[in-house]
Amino acid sequence: MVRFRTSIFLALLILTAGLAFNQEKVSAVADPWPGITTAFEAGNARSLAVYFNSMVDLGLPDEDNSYSKSQGEIVMKDFFKKSPPARFEVKQTGKTNEKSHFAICQYESSGKKYQVSIFLTREANSYLITRIKFEKQ
């Protein structure tokens, strides 16, 4: 009888630990859009770069190139300095598959309006920016 109770206890313990581990995996993939939105609204390249993949494509009004994460931060810092945000709004988000997400946004600075497309890829337990494209409207 004691052996039976011990077996049930161990089975419940393993099941509970497994459920907790799976819940941790699910919650570890957090929604990146609030942090990305906040970084754009503040014109904060350092906060935005937290979401960059190791390589990021930046399609800015005057240039389109691939950069390392740290180079991308410098490029975005320069962009925000030249075109500080007056308004940033996420218009639409979606996904092309489980690992690829996107957002279509509106960025306004000094009377200029840009449509901004942001593309994310899931890497391990987070979504990272792989491309940002600004298009003048």
Q: What is the DSSP-derived secondary structure letter of residue 44?
A: -
Beta partners for residue 92, in sequence order:
104
* CB within 8 Å of 107: residues ≥ 6 apart: 40, 85, 87, 88, 113, 114, 115, 116, 134
Predicted local distance difference test score (pLDDT) of residue 116:
98
| pTM of the predicted model as reported, rounded to 2 decimal places | 0.77
104-123 tens-digit pLDDT: 999 999 999 999 999 999 98
Average pLDDT over residues 122-128: 90
* CB within 8 Å of 23: residues ≥ 6 apart: none
Average pLDDT over residues 93-99: 91
Predicted local distance difference test score (pLDDT) of residue 128:
97
Percent of the chain scoring above 70 in pLDDT: 79
Average pLDDT over residues 85-102: 94
Which one of 3.30.1330.60, 3.10.450.50, 3.20.20.70, 1.10.3720.10 gives the CATH number of domain 31-136? 3.10.450.50
Between the CA of residue 106 and those of 5, 14, 49, 92, what are the distances in Å? 61, 48, 19, 10
